[in-house]
Each structure stands twice: as structure tokens, then as C-alpha cells.
Amino acid sequence: MKRLILATRNAHKVTELHSILTAAGLDVELVGADAYPEIPDVKETGVTFAQNALLKAHTLAKATGLPAVADDSGLCVNVLGGAPGIFSARWAGRHGDDQANLDLLLAQLGDIADPHRAAHFACAAALALPDGTERVVEGRLEGTLRHARSGTGGFGYDPILQPLGETRTCAELTPDEKNAISHRGKAFRGLVPAVRELVG
């Protein structure tokens, strides 16, 4: 069985990608970056989701000698010209402070009327081999932004993004419902043919 490493220490992401690969009939052993604690986290210095995903995947592939998958994602708000984008996780200044990021974004959009609150979640998923071979696939989840939080599921900006065709926010969907339409799910599923071709 081929081993594939996913550039995350988030067990939920490992489970999500593993179920996608299994459903596609791929017999690979998937491990997270915590299986290699000696490898430091990669600084995301790219200016696009794809650049950041490739940076992480190539670093892990080179360090471990294994095929590596990485992703980078965020929220892109039309009226803000695509921001917060790659800065989504640190929009309020401190990385990973979901509460502060949400508060700041809601304040910035306070006067914006419903017809102009279009936004989407974007994700780039990258596969890199130790020899430098690479593939990138991008996925999107289109929606509109609520004026206030709703729902307790998910994380990040899930409580304010209402997917197109839905009456609930991402934070009100069940994990299975969200995975079926999510930007990350789409990107990971789109990467399956590359994994089949390059990893086997």
C-alpha cells in the first residue's frame, strides 16, 4: 500500500480526504503531518491559495520522500475585491482567532445591502511528488453573507456564509451535508485522478 501524507495536523481533514480516496477505490495509507513531528510547519508566503498549497506539499514531499497533499482555503468577498482571501485565518491580526475575524468582517460589511453580499469559499488542493511533479485543483462554494452569525457547527466563517440555494448557513449544515458541497471537498475530489495517476 502506498503512503500519502497530508500537510495538516487536523485529524478531521485527514478523515475527510481518506473517505474521498476510499470512495474512489484508491488503496492508499493516508497520514497527517503529525506522523512526522520533526518537520516544522511551513510558512505560507504565497500570494494565492494555489501557491500556498504547493509550497506546503512540496516541502513535505521533499522532507519525507513521500507523495504529499496540501490545501489552502479562505473566504473571498466580492465587495471587498476578494478579501480576506489568503488572509482569512488572520484577518483580524492574530492567526486562527475565528471570533475576532468574524467580528471584524461583519463590522466592515455592516452597511452593505443583501444584493451586494455575495462571497465564496475557495480551496486549492495540491499534490506534489518528491521528484517535483505537481498537480493543483481548485474548488469553490458560492454563497451570500448573513448580517449575523447563525449555527454552531463548522469553524471559521461558516456561521455567516449561506450557500446558494440554501436557507441555512454552513454552520447549520450537518458535517455530511457540508462535505458534499464544500470547497475543500470539491478540491480534494478533483485531485483524485491525479492521485490515481501519480501515486497508484
12 marked ligand binding residue: yes
10 marked ligand binding residue: yes
- Any idea what DSSP says for residue 10? -
Separate counts of helices (H) and strands (E) for the chain: 5, 6
- Any idea what DSSP says for residue 39? S
101 marked ligand binding residue: no
Is residue 111 flagged as an active site residue?
Answer: no
The catalytic residue among 27, 34, 41, 72 is: 72
Q: Which stretches of the chain are DSSP H helices?
A: 11-23, 49-64, 98-108, 175-181, 183-198
CB atoms within 10 A of CB 153: 16
3-state secondary structure of 32: strand
18 marked ligand binding residue: no
Residue 141 falls in which region: left (phi positive, over 0), alpha (psi -120 to 50) or beta:
beta
Strand partners, 84: 76
13 marked ligand binding residue: yes
Q: Grid coordinates representing 172?
A: 447549520
148 marked ligand binding residue: no
155 marked ligand binding residue: yes
178 marked ligand binding residue: yes
11 marked ligand binding residue: yes
Active site residues: 72
Provide the annotated binding site.
Answer: 8-13, 72-73, 155-158, 178, 183-184
Binding-site residue numbers for Mg(2+) are 72
Known binding-site residue numbers for substrate: 8-13, 73, 155-158, 178, 183-184
